[in-house]
């Protein structure tokens, strides 16, 4: 939905805002009751309330106009809406690709022809995408503005490209889409007032598509309907929408290195059977650092029953290719698929981390939910598939959470499907909390990264301990370094890959690889000091120094990093040099650098 605050003009309400902000500043402690009392004493237009985003815009306007010279951070922290959005260190900017035919025929997959495959038009992110007609520039710019107007820094943005199988889209569309995302980051500034750039009139609005897929009969498929809709577009009229090439994308990358909003991570999602070495390298050239990969099951039988279109061998191959290229691997896994059982799902969760060929860095757990447009509807009506009971599903999740190692981050335990779209299946939105309560009742704990993040907590840098964890993967040895508090809260971590077999990418054939450096805590603006906030303790810098030593001791002549576009300057200051797809450091020579020569700011 369009935020009313985008059209808000603080100049109109200057007198009211002055009094309102003064009272908020004077609140000894910020609580909801005191805040609401202040709002009632200073109504907007005599009756309504100012929103938090309007108050924030008013503070910024008055701070500039009246030359207060105040640091806005303390005031923003009082009002910041949904602080969880950026307390993992980055501002996530999710954008959706347009509806497009999908190579998969999965029986469980929603088929909303107004959306890219597997997405539903009622999901919050999908609604934002449809409002902007899937335009990547407008989606990105609007999201940045929403964050900024609600008190969040956007200096470090993680762009998350969603939309089914990214690898099935034409290369021209991929290049254009990424370039327009970077254009939005490059053009954003705190003075940006409107979230909408001019939109070509010839763009097709998929919300006007009246056709629907009936999962009971499947007389018309998603691919057929969407192909017909795309076929109604005039190629000559819409060609300008995809007029980009690699050179223009690389120029946009270059601009982003010094932009106000820098891309510190870029994510795409795809299928295992769509990944070959050429595709992996193309994804990297686009600027991606992480790949979300839908594995769904680790059983050939269940993959076949659900018409997934690939087998476990394809998953092994895809994850090996991604690891060889240095990508962070974010797996999607689905309990309660047709043909599975709670006991089998627990067995698969053990295999996911017990087998060196898998062991993802992040995991989304999406229990299968039934929607009317999925072919699974017919199986349900024939009583061939039934959803797990709440007790069965909670048991599966508690077993999975307690088996997940501390190097993995479980990002989701339920998909954000509106309850009105679910025919049958889980509708409990806080299922993770329910599972964690049961875990605590059993005297156990979750050890994954998300369960141990420091989030908004202040820390004593002298209390941090460096912990080193090593484990085998399909290509060699993985080293997971983490700074933790005495309470075992994680403040920062680094993933270092030590390949022990040939890597089929000449640029990194003899390199150890830094796959991720992440510093937790509320996102802090580049160059901004915040005392004991974890992003300003040099933790990332320290981790990289230690990884350099580990690589040298292990005999690797070079250390490479799969850096995001916006973090390239940071790594250059550390002595890394640019290559075609990665940045590189002579790991032996780098040992001669002194710690004092390293810059203080971490990339996030």
Task: Express each pLDDT in 532-563 by its tens digit.
Answer: 444 556 899 999 999 999 999 999 999 999 99
Mean predicted confidence (pLDDT) in 192-198: 58
DSSP three-state, residue 239: helix
Pair (338, 321) in one structural domain: yes
Whether residue 544 sits in one domain with residue 430: no
Q: What is the CATH classification number for the domain harbouring 366?
A: 3.30.750.200
Amino acid 458: pLDDT: 72
Does 236 score more than 50 pLDDT? Answer: no
**Residues 304 and 263 both lie in one domain:** no
Residue 601 pLDDT: 45
Q: Looking at the structure, tell me whether residues 444 and 458 fall in a common domain.
A: no
pLDDT of residue 530: 46
- What pLDDT is recorded for position 556? 96
User: According to the model, what pLDDT value does residue 44 have?
Assistant: 85
Look at the chain and report how many structural domains it folds into: 4
Q: Among 111, 114, 105, 116, which Cα is nearest to 213's? A: 111
Query: Containing domain of residue 328, as a range?
Result: 285-452
Q: Could you tell me if 392 and 461 lie in one domain?
A: no
- Average confidence score pLDDT of the chain: 86
Q: Are residues 339 and 443 in the same domain?
A: yes
Q: What are phi and psi of 271, to 5 degrees?
A: -105, 150
What share of the chain has pLDDT > 70, as a percent? 85
Give residue 2's pLDDT.
40
Q: When comparing pLDDT for 85 and 564, which is higher? A: 564
Q: How far is CA 336 from CA 370, 400, 415, in A?
A: 11, 13, 13
Average pLDDT in the 100-121 region? 92
User: Three-state SS across 432-449?
Assistant: HHHHHHHHHHCCCCCCCH
The sign one gets for the Cα dihedral 5, 9, 10, 15 is: negative
Instruction: Look at residue 577 in the predicted model and tell me its pLDDT.
Output: 97
- Tokens describing residue 384: 């061939």
Residues in the chain: 604
Cβ–Cβ < 8 Å for 130, 115: yes
Place of tokens 């790991």: 587
Long-range contact set of residues 304-310: C-beta below 8 Å, sequence gap at least 24 = 305/337, 305/338, 305/339, 306/106, 306/107, 306/108, 306/337, 306/338, 306/339, 307/105, 307/106, 307/107, 307/375, 308/104, 308/106, 309/103, 309/104, 309/105, 309/106, 309/271, 309/273, 310/271, 310/272, 310/273
Check which CATH number belongs to the domain holding 523 and give it.
3.40.630.30
Confirm if 206 and 113 have CB atoms less than 8 A apart. yes
DSSP annotation string for 143-166: HHHHHHHTT---SEEEEEEESS-G
Q: What is the pLDDT of residue 459?
A: 77
Convert the pLDDT of each residue in 263-307 to its tens digit: 999 999 999 999 999 999 999 999 999 999 999 999 999 999 999
250 shares its domain with 298? no
Contacts of 408 (CB under 8 A, 6+ apart): 353, 359, 360, 361, 362, 363, 448, 449
Asked if the structure places residue 602 within a domain, the reply is no
Per the domain annotation, does 275 fall within a domain?
Answer: no
Higher pLDDT among residues 185 and 594, named by residue: 185
From its phi and psi, is residue 218 left (phi > 0), alpha (psi between -120 and 50) or beta? left
Please give the pLDDT value at position 202: 46
Please tell me the predicted confidence (pLDDT) of residue 5.
Answer: 43
Q: Using CA atoms, how far apart are residues 458 and 397, in angstroms rounded to an integer?
A: 31
Burial class (CB in 10 A: 0-12, 13-18, 19+), 149: buried
Higher pLDDT, 333 or 588: 333
At residue 557, the pLDDT reads 94
Helices (H), 382-501: 390-403, 431-441, 449-452
With vertex at residue 446, the alpha carbon angle to CA 442 and CA 447, rounded to the nearest 5 degrees, is: 135
Q: Is the pLDDT of residue 333 over 50?
A: yes
What is the percent of the chain where pLDDT is above 90?
60
CA gap 432, 401 in Å, rounded: 9
The Cα 573–Cα 576 span in angstroms is 7
Q: How confident is the model at residue 593 (pLDDT cuts 50, 70, 90)?
A: very low
Answer yes or no: is 8 within a domain.
Answer: yes
- Mean pLDDT value across residues 494-514: 96
Rounded average pLDDT over 221-248: 74
Pick the last residue of a domain from 435, 452, 469: 452
For residue 187, pLDDT beyond 50:
yes
Write the pLDDT tens digit of every residue in 380-424. 999 999 999 999 999 999 999 999 999 999 999 988 788 888 998
Q: Which pLDDT tens digit goes with each residue over 27-54?
A: 776 677 777 888 888 888 877 888 877 8
Provide the pLDDT confidence category of residue 449 given band limits of 50, 70 and 90.
Answer: very high
Q: Point out the least confidently predicted range of 159-163, 487-491, 527-531.
A: 527-531
The values of phi and psi at residue 91, to 5°, are -100, 110
Which of 37, 57, 79 is the last residue in one of the domains?
79
Mean predicted confidence (pLDDT) in 208-215? 81
The answer to whether residues 241 and 265 touch, using CB atoms and an 8 Å cutoff, is no
pLDDT on residue 596:
33
pLDDT at residue 595 tops 80? no
The total of other beta-carbon atoms located within 10 Å of residue 570's CB is 26
Q: What CA–CA distance (Å, rounded) separates 604 from 587? A: 23
CA distance 12 to 273: 57
How confident is the model at residue 447, as a pLDDT? 94
Across 443-463, average pLDDT: 86
Q: In what order do the strands lie in the sheet with 476-484?
A: 465-472, 476-484, 490-499, 511-519, 558-561, 583-586, 577-578
Residues whose CB is less than 8 angstroms from the CB of residue 372 and which lie 6 or more positions away in sequence, other chains included: 214, 215, 216, 421, 423
Tell me if 248 is assigned to some domain.
Answer: yes
E strand spans, 58-155 = 91-96
Write the burial class of residue 365 (CB in 10 Å: 0-12 exposed, 13-18 middle, 19+ buried). Answer: buried
Give yes or no for a contact between 483 and 543, defined as CB atoms under 8 angstroms apart: yes
Quick one: DSSP state of residue 566? G
Q: Does residue 604 fall inside a structural domain? A: no
Q: Which of 46, 79, 112 is the last residue of a domain?
A: 79
Do residues 254 and 388 both lie within one domain? Answer: no
Q: Measured between alpha carbons, how far is 198 from 266 in angstroms, rounded to an integer?
A: 25
Which pLDDT value is given to residue 551? 97
- If one compares 336 and 30, the residue with the highest pLDDT of the two is 336
Q: Which of 144-148, 188-192, 488-492 has the lowest mean pLDDT?
A: 188-192
Averaged pLDDT for residues 313-340: 98
Lowest mean pLDDT among 2-6, 216-220, 292-296, 496-500: 2-6
Is the domain of 235 the same as that of 97? yes
Q: What integer pLDDT is reported at residue 203 of this predicted model?
A: 58
Give yes or no for residue 481 having a pLDDT over 70: yes
Q: Is residue 280 part of a domain?
A: no
pLDDT of residue 326: 98
According to the model, what pLDDT value does residue 204 have? 62
């Amino acid at each position: 939905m369009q935020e009313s605050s985008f059209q808000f003009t603080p100049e109109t309400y200057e007198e009211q805002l002055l009094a309102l902000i003064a009272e908020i500043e004077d609140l000894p402690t910020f609580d909801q009751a005191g805040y609401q009392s202040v709002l009632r004493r200073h109504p907007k237009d005599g009756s309504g309330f100012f929103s938090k985003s309007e108050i924030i815009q008013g503070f910024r306007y008055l701070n500039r106009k009246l030359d207060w010279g105040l640091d806005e951070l303390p005031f923003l922290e009082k009002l910041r809406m949904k602080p969880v959005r950026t307390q993992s260190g980055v501002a996530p900017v999710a954008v959706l690709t347009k509806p497009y035919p999908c190579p998969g025929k999965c029986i469980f997959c929603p088929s909303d022809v107004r959306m890219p495959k597997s997405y539903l038009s009622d999901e919050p992110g999908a609604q934002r995408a449809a409002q902007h007609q899937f335009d990547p520039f407008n989606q990105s710019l609007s999201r940045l503005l929403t964050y900024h107007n609600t008190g969040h820094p956007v200096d470090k943005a993680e762009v998350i490209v969603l939309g089914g199988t990214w690898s099935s889209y034409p290369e021209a569309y991929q290049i254009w889409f990424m370039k327009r995302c970077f254009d939005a980051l490059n053009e954003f500034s705190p003075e940006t007032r409107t979230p909408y750039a001019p939109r070509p009139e010839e763009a097709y609005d998929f919300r006007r598509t009246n056709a629907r897929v009936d999962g009971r009969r499947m007389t018309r498929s998603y691919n057929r309907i969407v192909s017909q809709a795309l076929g109604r577009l005039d190629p000559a009229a819409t060609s300008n929408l995809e007029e980009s090439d690699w050179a223009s994308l690389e120029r946009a990358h270059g601009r982003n290195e010094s932009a106000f909003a820098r891309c510190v991570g870029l994510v795409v999602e795809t299928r295992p059977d769509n990944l070959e070495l050429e595709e992996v390298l193309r994804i990297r050239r686009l600027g991606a650092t992480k790949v979300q990969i839908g594995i769904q099951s680790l059983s050939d039988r269940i993959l076949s029953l659900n018409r997934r279109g690939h087998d476990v061998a394809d998953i092994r191959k895809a994850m090996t290719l991604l690891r060889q290229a240095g990508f962070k691997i974010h797996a999607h896994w689905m309990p309660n698929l047709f043909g599975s059982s709670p006991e089998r799902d627990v067995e698969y969760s053990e295999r996911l981390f017990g087998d060196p060929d898998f062991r993802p860095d992040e995991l989304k757990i999406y229990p299968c939910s039934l929607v009317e447009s999925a072919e699974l509807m017919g199986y349900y009506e024939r009583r061939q598939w039934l959803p797990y009971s709440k007790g069965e599903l909670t048991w599966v999740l508690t077993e999975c959470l307690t088996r997940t190692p501390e190097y993995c981050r479980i990002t989701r335990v339920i998909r954000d499907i509106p309850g009105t779209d679910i025919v049958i299946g889980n509708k409990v939105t806080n299922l993770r909390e329910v599972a964690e309560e049961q875990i605590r009742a059993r005297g156990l704990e979750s050890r994954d990264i998300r369960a141990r993040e420091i989030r908004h907590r202040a820390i004593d840098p002298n209390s941090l301990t460096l912990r080193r964890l090593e484990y085998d993967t399909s290509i060699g040895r993985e080293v997971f370094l983490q700074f933790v508090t005495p309470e075992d809260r994680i403040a920062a971590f680094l993933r270092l890959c030590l390949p022990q077999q040939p890597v089929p990418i000449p640029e990194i054939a003899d390199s150890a690889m830094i796959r991720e450096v992440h510093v937790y805590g509320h996102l802090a603006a580049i160059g901004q000091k915040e005392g004991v906030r974890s992003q300003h303790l040099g933790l990332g810098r320290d981790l990289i120094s230690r990884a350099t030593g580990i690589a040298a001791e292990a005999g690797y002549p070079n250390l490479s990093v799969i850096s995001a576009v916006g973090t390239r300057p940071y790594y250059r200051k550390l002595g890394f040099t640019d290559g075609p797809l990665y940045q590189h450091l002579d790991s032996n020579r780098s040992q001669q650098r002194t710690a004092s020569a390293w810059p203080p700011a971490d990339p996030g």
